[in-house]
Amino acid sequence: MVAISTEQLTDPVELTRALVDIESVSGNEKAIADAVEQALRPATHLRVERSGNLVYARTELGRDHRVMLAGHLDTVPLHDNFPSRRDGDLMYGCGTSDMKSGTAIALHLAATVTEPVHDVSYIFYDCEEVESDRNGLGIAARTHPEWLAADMAFLLEPTLGEVEAGCQGTLRAQITTTGTRAHSARSWLGDNAIHHAGEILARLRDYQARDVTIDGCTYREGLNAVGIVGGVAGNVIPDECVVTVNFRFAPDRTARQAEDHVRAVFEGYEVTITDLAAAALPGLSVPVVQRFLTQVGRPAVAKLGWTDVARFAELGIPAVNYGPGDPNLAHTKNEHVSCARIVTCADTMRGYLTGKIA
């Protein structure tokens, strides 16, 4: 078993490196979950539980509010970027940005903050980088909903140290055109389905996306083609063409409203929804969130993308994204994180949990 030392637990940078150096591609998180559980079990201020490759810990101090720190343990597949390496302030390696540096901060604070001003829950979960039905946080919401009870939640996803509030929703749909198959030498006997896709592309080209501001955060919507499939053979007029579109929508729309909107844009065509995840409102008016913004010293910005904050939103729990990684580096071969930013984010979060506003 890979063990995390006491010295590593007290240093979020070294702890990040320790986690990065435990390979944990989605579906292979047992070793890292074992290490996290083993690191937390000796902490007398925590109650620690385990479900599969998810580790849950909580304080039970009778405070007025409970906040949650959440981080996923898995990474995308390795790409010649394992194990980690240091180059000055930068730490390179798979998961350094997304999101083992953020997860390390949560683990560091769980082990070292023994008297927080709020009760704190910590959840370290598996399978975030793969299909939704395997997501450990989603499974916990179904099997152990009491673990997710909190007044607010922090998801330590990469945000470059900014508070990114809420998240966009995402919808994927297939827009299908049909025609009549024929020999291309006698094309007038057929009806070319690919040619009919031109109107779909024209609607996408002319689409006017919205900018929506909520709680001072501006969410930019987008409706775009992300794939097109058609054709039978080099001498056949095709009888079907499928255009796949992705709609990133602002949190003032429900998932149903987003679906209705896409169907309206492509009225007259067959529309099949293949994936749909709700957006999350920023929820910045909650006092425990306001206190964290005071701690950071900067206003929140919109999260442009979907994250697991939406799972908390579905449970009525306001949640924000906050972590040291750079989201632009996530899933890249050159993924890295600033060690100085790890320390800054850890200090900011520690100040919030202990009530010591900088």
The pLDDT tens digits of the residues spanning 199-227 come to 999 999 999 999 999 999 999 999 999 99
Residues of the chain with CATH 3.30.70.360: 177-277
Tell me, what's the pLDDT at 252?
96
74 is annotated as an active-site residue: yes
CATH number of 6-167+280-354: 3.40.630.10
The pLDDT tens digits of the residues spanning 102-134 come to 999 999 999 999 999 999 999 999 999 998 889
User: Could you give the residue ranges of the DSSP H alpha helices within 66-152?
Assistant: 101-112, 136-143
CATH number of 177-277: 3.30.70.360
The pLDDT tens digits of the residues spanning 19-60 come to 999 999 999 999 999 999 999 999 999 999 999 999 999 999
The single residue of 29, 119, 128, 308 carrying the catalytic annotation is 128
Q: How confident is the model at residue 358 (pLDDT cuts 50, 70, 90)?
A: low
Q: Percent of the chain, pLDDT > 70? A: 99
The pLDDT tens digits of the residues spanning 56-96 come to 999 999 999 999 999 999 999 999 999 999 999 999 999 99
The single residue of 14, 29, 37, 74 carrying the catalytic annotation is 74
What tokens were used for 96? 């350094």
Residues of the chain with CATH 3.40.630.10: 6-167+280-354
23 is annotated as an active-site residue: no
Tell me, what's the pLDDT at 285?
87
Query: Tokens 């990040």, residue?
Result: 16
Distance, CA of 54 to CA of 137 (rounded, Å): 8
Reduce the secondary structure of 113-132 to three states and give it as a string.
Answer: CCCCCCEEEEEEECCCCCCH
The string over 27-47, giving b where at least 16 C-beta atoms fall within 10 Å of a residue's C-beta and e elsewhere, is eebeebbbbbbebbeebebbe
